[in-house]
Amino acid sequence: MHRDLLRHTVDSSQTEKQIMKLLLAGIVLILIVQTNAQWYNFPREAIGGAGDMWRAYSDMREANWKNSDKYFHARGNYDAAQRGPGGKWAAEVISNARESMQGASGRGHEDTEADQRANRWGREGRDPNVYRPAGLPRKRPAETYCGLFSNRKTIKQIMKLLLAGIVLILIVQTNAQGYKFYWEAVQGAGDMWRAYSDMREANWKAENTDKYFHARGNYDAAQRGPGGKWAAEVISDARESFQGASGRGHEDSEADQRANRWGREGGDPNHFRPAGLPDKY
């Protein structure tokens, strides 16, 4: 009977180990698919966002309305950010570049900072109409207005060159971010696997030992960056779902998830460390 119980325990351990390996393989597959999807979405959003910024700038030039620049800054950033992370990124880069250029041309720090507040207001999803000046037409005038800037054509060319630069930077950074996210996630999955292997090896019977290893794996993975944190969350959720389906109680599963979140959010895993656990773990 003792031999049968031991064999059952070993078989269960091997099954769980195989499931963990399959889970990690699935993570890599999901990661490849999602990274490719993000690669296509981010540039499209950024290009659309750059267009939103250009339209807001063109409308501001055409309207030539006194004290309206903050409204158009907020509107351009708002419209761009609504497209997604790529649009928000493009809006921030364009806004910063524009303010740096105008600051170098002699504009005061206070006016630049006021512009940036309007930029951030729009990017954070807040209503641009807070900055809308009284009387500004709801539709753009048909005729073109002049006189706000004496070098209109020059500024227009600079804006076009700036947008072209944004697209170039975007292509380079998106490729770099895609590979970085992928690599972080693979390393994070490895951290989760090491924590699981150490837990199996230690076989420590003290209470909360598993919580310590859950927190440690999530902590180590999250330190890799956004990709590692993402992998840790997916693995943790899948593991708890599987163990919950196998008959584990809701309270124990929720306690595991609290330890998982603690580690992912940068909390010290040693908060869960059981007394006497060897230092190698």
Which tens digit of pLDDT belongs to each residue from 63-90? 889 889 999 999 999 999 999 888 888 8
Q: Which two tokens stand for residue 197?
A: 């292997």
Does the structure show a pLDDT above 80 at 62? yes
**Which range (56-60, 69-73, 98-102, 118-122) has the least confidence?**
98-102
CATH of 46-175, one of 3.40.190.10, 3.10.20.30, 1.10.132.110, 2.10.109.10: 1.10.132.110
**Do the domains 46-175 and 14-39+177-272 match in fold?**
yes
Res. 45 pLDDT band, cuts 50 70 90: confident
Closest CA to 188 of 231, 239, 233, 226: 231
Within 10 Å of residue 245's Cβ, how many Cβ atoms? 8
- For the chain, the structural domain boundaries read 14-39+177-272, 46-175
User: How far apart, in whole angstroms, are the C-alpha atoms of residue 19 and residue 8?
Assistant: 16
Q: Which two tokens stand for residue 263?
A: 């580690």
- Whole-model pTM over 0.85: no
| Residue 217 and residue 234 in contact, taking contact as beta carbons nearer than 8 Å | no
Does the structure show a pLDDT above 80 at 105? no
**DSSP label at residue 135:** T
Res. 167 pLDDT band, cuts 50 70 90: low
Residue range 193-204, pLDDT digits in tens: 899 889 988 888
Within 10 Å of residue 196's Cβ, how many Cβ atoms? 21
User: How far apart, in whole angstroms, are the C-alpha atoms of residue 239 and residue 73?
Assistant: 46
CATH of 14-39+177-272, one of 3.40.50.300, 2.30.110.10, 1.10.132.110, 2.60.120.370: 1.10.132.110
